A and B are shown apart, each in its own frame.
Chain A
Amino acid sequence: MKEPLVKIRDLSKLYPTGGGGFLALSELDLDIPAGAFMALVGPSGSGKTTLLNIIGTLDSQTGGEIEVLGHKVDTLDARQSAALRAEKIGFIFQSYNLLPVYNVYENVELPLLLLKMDKAERHEAVMQALKWVGITDKMKSRPNQLSGGEGQRVSIARAMVKRPKLVLADEPTANLDTENSVNILDTMLQINEETGTTFIFATHDQKVIDYMKRVVTLIDGKKAKDDLKTGN
């Protein structure tokens, strides 16, 4: 049987607080196969973002095991986890997190600079990513000249430009209207189907949930439900 892209066993995350600590994740078991298009849902404080951060190697667990793309997260040192993120994981943020001093092209090019890709290759990859999200005409614009929908498209292009195995999207539609949300989701679903890239969303937006092939519900840091949808 094929190894899952993300393998989680008895995962827990305890944040130290004054009153003994806050358990953000507890006894979590989850397998996420390659090519998944899934969401982690649940109310605020249920542990969605925490789990996303641990999968993205930005944080580490306090108990249990998690393996991402064949790497045990808690055994990676800072350099190794940075390399894993640079090469194989893309991030999409709620408020896009575009770097304001760079234009659209440069924002999308940034992950490739970290991979030390040569200029011609970089150009080709950036243009391809901008084409995917349909924003080639804005490539000279600065982030502050873009609408919310355009900003998030650039953010998707930046996440996709290095052809990652895994894209983690934290509330990607929270700042968008319905039309832009739908456009964004269509784009991501299309990329998922064309490239086989795994998408994991953290969201409580019903529009996003409706697009998902699988929805894992977290409540108080524990897996409450794991729905595999068909027909999408």
Chain B
Amino acid sequence: MLLKLALKRIAGNGWRSVFNILILFLVLMGMLFIQGMYDGWMRTARRQKEEWEIGAGHFEHSNYDKYDSFTFKDSFAKIPDHIQELIRQNEVVPILVFSGVLYPQGRMTPISIKGIPWDQALLKIPSQMLRVKDEYPGSLPTVIGQDMARTNGLSQGDLVSMRFKDARGVFNAYDIEIVKVMATPVSSIDESQVWIDFTVLNSLVALQNSATLFILKDEATQLNLGSNWRYISQKKSLEDVLAMMKADQAGGYVVIALLLFLAMIAIFDTQILAVFKRRKEIGTLIALGMTRRQIIRLFTYEGCLYMVFGTILTAILGLPLFIHLGTKGIPLPQELSNLNVGGFSETMKSYYDPLTILFMLIMVFVLTLFASWLPAAKIARMKATQALRGKV
């Protein structure tokens, strides 16, 4: 009965109801858009990092510190025989990391030289381009990232001198040819890095079949490498990028909080206005036999019904938009792609996690309930005789 009365009230409120529902609709749309975009961004960044760098997880030599190039000369070991088969099956990709110096256009640039098997198919790095066909090539085919190319003024086809110290501590130098500038969205395989073939790098640094890292295709793969190696899970590898996104997401939460605040103000305003405008009506309802609790419920239902209608409107009008954003996405301008920020290099697709949507709906619902209940609670204190006289 109260629900029916509340429905009638909303219908009778005319434009005020329409505005309230529209505000709630816009708030829900805004919240879902922001959250969907963040979730989509995170998923894209995670996927890109997985596809380009970390696979399903990796093992690294216990001496290896990717932020300290002085550790590289001691961060390798011979690949155990039992892993060879996994490498052949493309279940594991070995990577050897050494430090060196590049001399582009006469300048000196410290680099990490990374060796990856040219025939690997696990990571998206275009390693096929690294294949050395001649036994004694004049220059070594290398791949660099777009950021590295831009920073050092390099482009495809350029020849550059590269100097490095081999495993015995002997300096050596070689000319490299940039055979490909890869458009990778993952900056951690791009900046100050040069990719060459795994076997070639091994021979350059006077090693044989040695690796610094083992990238796994499947998280469950057991390598039994011993105490010189440590396992870094995908989650651990993603910590930095996710922390950066979370920090950025905090800004999004502020917008969401502001939107929520706006919606609550709208509902609260309507309801508090209703209390003052409708005090005679409230007195009449009390005289007709309605209890105070029923009146509070009537007003609370009204507020909640706005939320229900706002949700229905969001579902009807927002669903096509969200489906479009989730499937086709928003193409990003080139300037943003060039930032080389994870997830920013391709069309930005939103992602909607049902649990997140449910959580948001519940949050808006609870706040709406509160914003509707608060003015109604004031009514509960109103004396019927005063209400009938139009006083509060």
Taking Cβ atoms with an 8 Å cutoff, the residues of A that contact B are 53, 56, 58-59, 78-79, 82-87, 89, 91, 93, 95, 97, 99-102, 106, 110-111, 113-116, 158
A114 and B289 in contact (CB under 8 A), knowing A97-B284, A100-B12, A101-B13?
A: yes
Query: Would you call B11 an interface residue if the criterion is a C-beta within 8 Å of the partner chain's C-beta atoms?
Result: yes
Query: Would you call B290 an interface residue if the criterion is a C-beta within 8 Å of the partner chain's C-beta atoms?
Result: yes
Interface residues of B in 5-37 (CB under 8 A from A): 5, 8-9, 11-13
Return the CB mask of B274-291 against A: 1 if under 8 Å, else 0: 000000110110111111
Contact A113 B385 (CB under 8 A): no
Chain A residues with Cβ under 8 A from B5's Cβ? 110, 113
Contact A58 B284 (CB under 8 A): no
Chain A residues with Cβ under 8 A from B46's Cβ? none
Contact A111 B11 (CB under 8 A): no
Q: In the complex, what's the smallest C-beta–C-beta distance from A197 to chain B, in angstroms? A: 16
Interface residues of B in 348-392 (CB under 8 A from A): 383-385, 388
- Please pick, from A53, A78, A93, the residue contacting B291 in the complex, using a CB distance under 8 A: A78
Contacts A86-B290, A102-B8 known; 18 new A-B pairs at CB < 8 A = A58-B384, A58-B385, A78-B291, A79-B291, A83-B289, A86-B288, A91-B284, A91-B287, A97-B281, A99-B281, A100-B281, A101-B11, A106-B8, A110-B5, A113-B1, A113-B4, A114-B1, A114-B289
Contact A86 B289 (CB under 8 A): yes
Contact B288 A114 (CB under 8 A): yes
- Please pick, from B4, B280, B291, the residue contacting A97 in the complex, using a CB distance under 8 A: B280
Contact B287 A58 (CB under 8 A): yes
A131 CA / B119 CA spacing, docked (Å): 93
A82 and B284 in contact (CB under 8 A), knowing A97-B388, A102-B8?
A: no
Closest to B14 in A: A101
Contact A58 B288 (CB under 8 A): no
Query: Would you call B292 an interface residue if the criterion is a C-beta within 8 Å of the partner chain's C-beta atoms?
Result: yes
Contact B9 A111 (CB under 8 A): no
Q: In the complex, what's the smallest C-beta–C-beta distance from A92 to chain B, in angstroms? A: 10
Chain B residues with Cβ under 8 A from A83's Cβ? 289
A110 CA / B289 CA spacing, docked (Å): 10
Contact B291 A82 (CB under 8 A): yes
Chain B: residues with Cβ within 8 Å of the partner, total of 23
- Please pick, from B283, B286, B288, B385, the residue contacting A110 in the complex, using a CB distance under 8 A: B288
Chain B residues with Cβ under 8 A from A95's Cβ? 280
Contact B289 A87 (CB under 8 A): yes
A87 CA / B290 CA spacing, docked (Å): 11
Q: In the complex, what's the smallest C-beta–C-beta distance from A96 to chain B, in angstroms? A: 9
Name which of A101, A102, A111, A158 has the most chain B CB atoms within 10 A of its CB: A101
The 5 A-B pairs of least Cβ separation, nearest first, read A101-B12, A86-B289, A97-B284, A85-B289, A58-B384
Contact B286 A99 (CB under 8 A): no
A56 and B287 in contact (CB under 8 A), knowing A93-B388, A97-B280, A106-B8?
A: yes
Interface residues of B in 267-322 (CB under 8 A from A): 280-281, 283-284, 286-292
Chain B residues with Cβ under 8 A from A85's Cβ? 286-289
What are 25 contact pairs spanning A and B, CB under 8 A?
Answer: A53-B385, A78-B292, A79-B291, A82-B290, A82-B291, A84-B289, A85-B287, A86-B288, A91-B284, A93-B284, A93-B287, A97-B280, A97-B281, A97-B284, A97-B388, A99-B281, A101-B9, A101-B13, A102-B12, A110-B5, A110-B288, A114-B1, A114-B288, A114-B289, A116-B1
A155 CA / B383 CA spacing, docked (Å): 22
Contact B11 A59 (CB under 8 A): no
Name which of A59, A85, A115 has the most chain B CB atoms within 10 A of its CB: A85
Contact A59 B288 (CB under 8 A): no
Q: In the complex, what's the smallest C-beta–C-beta distance from B221 to chain A, in angstroms? A: 67
Chain B residues with Cβ under 8 A from A91's Cβ? 284, 287-288
Contact B289 A82 (CB under 8 A): yes
Chain B residues with Cβ under 8 A from A58's Cβ? 286-287, 384-385, 388
Chain A residues with Cβ under 8 A from B292's Cβ? 78
Contact B289 A59 (CB under 8 A): no
Closest to B389 in A: A49
Contact B8 A101 (CB under 8 A): yes
Interface residues of B in 97-124 (CB under 8 A from A): none
Q: In the complex, what's the smallest C-beta–C-beta distance from B51 to chain A, in angstroms? A: 59
Chain A residues with Cβ under 8 A from B383's Cβ? 59
Chain B residues with Cβ under 8 A from A82's Cβ? 286, 289-291
A159 CA / B184 CA spacing, docked (Å): 78
